[in-house]
């Protein structure tokens, strides 16, 4: 463990230089990886390895993003009564999910560009994806950490914790209610007494609603939401620009690049729908396990 930590700290300065280069000179990074895969190897020159280099950067970026998520956890994702190990596992799982989603999105976009005539080598593409994907993981973790700005307001921190404590007992009640619903009709059994339906008390719902509205209108909370939204919007623009540069460097005309982007966007929409169905299937399966 100590050796792994030493290796990680030794590579951090080099990683930080590459990370900064991704943010400030993305076009240069893109050109380097694409030309590295196709450049002829002269005698005496070191062999170019775009895939191993990119993967090494991606692995280190994952470790950094997981560290940021653990050190500055998103308040809504931190378990109420969890040990340190469980909380760290929750944050690391979120980073790992972001990694797989980004890689799948990149594969869909690249497949769409292939249909429109992109002949770029896979090694250069994957090396670039690993570089920009690693930077994206860290930026997403930093954007999530900005939600803690809202917790600087003691009222927001208190309300947020009370909301989570109020919502926790409602979970089993909602599951019990869903278990009573007929999966085919979506209705409760006919003739079921109203007092036997597990519903939260109206006064508890009203109190939770008042806490929620009070939290949503606090200045520090609005500042935190605004900062996170601005960072995510800037990240989307940055990734969009990198994708456009990749298509242009690959030799596609503006018309073909636009068509490839449209095809890729359609693929992303289908992928998002599939991911939503997978999540829904998991939730439904977990619910049915509690009903039996």
Domain boundaries, the chain: 2-40+47-153+219-291, 155-217
- pLDDT tens sequence across 147-176: 889 888 999 889 888 888 887 777 777 777
Tokens of 108: 């869909």
pTM strictly above 0.85: no
* 3-state per-residue secondary structure call for 147-184: HHHHHHCHHHHHHHHHHHHHHHHHHHHHHHHHHHCCCC
Tokens of 206: 């009203």
Residue given tokens 């947020």 in the structure block: 160
The closest alpha carbon to 221, from 277, 160, 141, belongs to 160
- pLDDT tens sequence across 231-277: 999 999 999 999 999 888 888 888 988 998 899 899 999 999 999 99
Tokens of 255: 């018309």
Plot region of 67 (φ>0 → left; ψ -120 to 50 → alpha; else → beta)? alpha
- pLDDT tens sequence across 108-150: 888 888 888 888 777 778 888 889 999 999 999 999 888 889 8
- Band the pLDDT of 83: cuts 50, 70, 90: very low
């Amino acid at each position: 463990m100590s050796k792994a930590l030493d290796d990680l700290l030794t590579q951090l300065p080099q990683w930080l230089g590459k990370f900064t280069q991704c943010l400030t000179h993305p076009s240069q990074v893109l050109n380097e990886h694409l030309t590295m895969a196709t450049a002829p190897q002269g005698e005496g020159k070191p062999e170019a390895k775009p895939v191993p280099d990119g993967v090494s950067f991606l692995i280190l970026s994952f470790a950094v993003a997981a560290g940021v998520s653990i050190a500055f956890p998103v308040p809504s994702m931190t378990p109420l009564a969890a040990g340190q190990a469980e909380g760290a596992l929750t944050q690391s799982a979120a980073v790992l999910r972001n990694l797989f989603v980004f890689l799948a999105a990149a594969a869909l976009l690249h497949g769409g560009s292939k249909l429109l005539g992109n002949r770029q080598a896979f090694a250069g593409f994957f090396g670039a994806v690993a570089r920009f994907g690693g930077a994206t993981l860290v930026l997403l973790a930093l954007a999530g950490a900005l939600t803690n700005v809202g917790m600087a307001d003691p009222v927001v921190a208190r309300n947020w914790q009370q909301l989570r404590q109020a919502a926790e007992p409602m979970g089993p009640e909602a599951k019990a209610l869903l278990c009573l619903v007929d999966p085919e009709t979506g209705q409760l059994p006919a003739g079921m007494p109203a007092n036997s339906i597990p519903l939260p008390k109206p006064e508890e719902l009203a109190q939770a609603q008042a806490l929620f509205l009070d939290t949503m209108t606090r200045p520090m909370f609005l500042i935190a939401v605004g900062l996170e939204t601005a960072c995510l919007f800037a990240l989307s623009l940055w990734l969009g620009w990198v994708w456009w540069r990749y298509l242009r460097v690959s030799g596609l005309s503006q018309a073909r690049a636009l068509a490839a982007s449209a095809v890729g966007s359609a693929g992303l929409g289908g992928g998002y729908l599939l991911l939503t169905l997978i999540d829904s299937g998991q939730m439904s399966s977990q619910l049915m396990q509690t009903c039996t």
